[in-house]
Amino acid sequence: MKLNDKGLLVVLSGPSGVGKGTVRKALFDMPDQNFVYSVSMTTRKMRPGEVDGKDYYFVSREEFEKRIEDGKFLEHAEFVGNYYGTPLDEVNKQLDNGKEVILEIEVEGALQVRDKVKDAVFIFLVPPSKEALYNRLKRRGTESEEVIQERIAKANREFKLAYKYDYIVVNDEVNNAADRIMAIIRAEHAKTWRSIHKYEELLDMKDDKNKGDNK
């Protein structure tokens, strides 16, 4: 039964400062999981110690743009002059192998995925309170009040998109949040439309064992 199970594409997103990265790490540390990252593609220069195909796929700007045109990205964005994107074929390969692919991405990128992968699961992380988020954003570094205010404004805009996600998970404590996400993944696998193909044999019970009994 397990062999037929396709993996889930889980898109983990939420406003700046909510702790997406920490929750993703906690998920990968859980026992009995089957998670993989998707290696992103970028046009930025390789840094010392980075490995092509492991940290990123490093490609030229021309190649990246060609791939955008060909629809080969699940999502992509430009950031300080460089492209970053998630290659669609990479993700599909992992899903076909039964792996759960966790994409931890920004709110806008996540909504691009929504349009491309109808059966992905979209999770929006929220902080337990406004104050918790403010404190996280302030604690992060040595930024000026202006930068902090910009981040708060950005988080506000991102919150407005929560309704487009399938699930809302509170990051009150990182392991609680990871537990909730594990429950969501288990539940999604049990959804009838995802799993009914596995029970074909049961649904056809009549056709062998009972043959002849009902005329």
Q: Is 159 one of the binding residues for its own copies (CB under 8 A)? A: yes
Three-state secondary structure string covering 70-132: CCCEEEEEEECCEEEEEEHHHHHHHHHCCCEEEEECCHHHHHHHHHHCCCCEEEEEECCCHHH
| Residue 159, amino acid | F
Stretch binding its own copies (CB under 8 A), from 57-65, 84-92, 136-144, 193-201: 193-201
Nearer residue to its own copies within complex by CB, 80 or 202: 202
41-60: contacts with its own copies (CB under 8 A): none
Compute the least distance from the CB of residue 161 to its own copies, in Å. Answer: 10
Subset of 160-179 contacting its own copies (CB under 8 A)? 160, 162-163, 165-170
DSSP 21-78: HHHHHHHHTSTT--EE----EE-SPPPTT--BTTTBEE--HHHHHHHHHTT-EEEEEE
> CB pairs under 8 A, 24+ apart, for 72-75?
73/41, 74/38, 74/103, 74/112, 74/113, 74/116, 74/117, 75/105, 75/109, 75/110, 75/112, 75/113, 75/116
Residue range at the interface with its own copies (CB under 8 A); choices 5-13, 72-80, 98-106, 192-200: 192-200
Q: How many residues bind its own copies (CB under 8 A)?
A: 45
Residue among 46, 68, 147, 203 that touches its own copies (CB under 8 A): 203
Residue 157 C-beta: closest distance to its own copies, Å? 9
182 counts as binding its own copies under rule CB under 8 A: yes
Pick the binder of its own copies from 117, 127, 137, 151 (CB under 8 A): 127
Per-residue binding letters, 139-158, with its own copies (x by CB under 8 A): ----------x--xx-xx--
Q: How many other β-carbons are positioned within 10 Å of the β-carbon of residue 94? A: 19
Rounded to 5 degrees, what angle do the CA atoms 15, 18, 24 make? Answer: 105
Should residue 196 be labelled a site residue for its own copies when binding is judged by CB under 8 A? Answer: yes
Residues that bind its own copies (CB under 8 A): 1, 124, 126-127, 129-130, 133-134, 149, 152-153, 155-156, 159-160, 162-163, 165-170, 180, 182-184, 186-188, 190-192, 195-196, 199, 201-203, 205-206, 209-210, 213-214
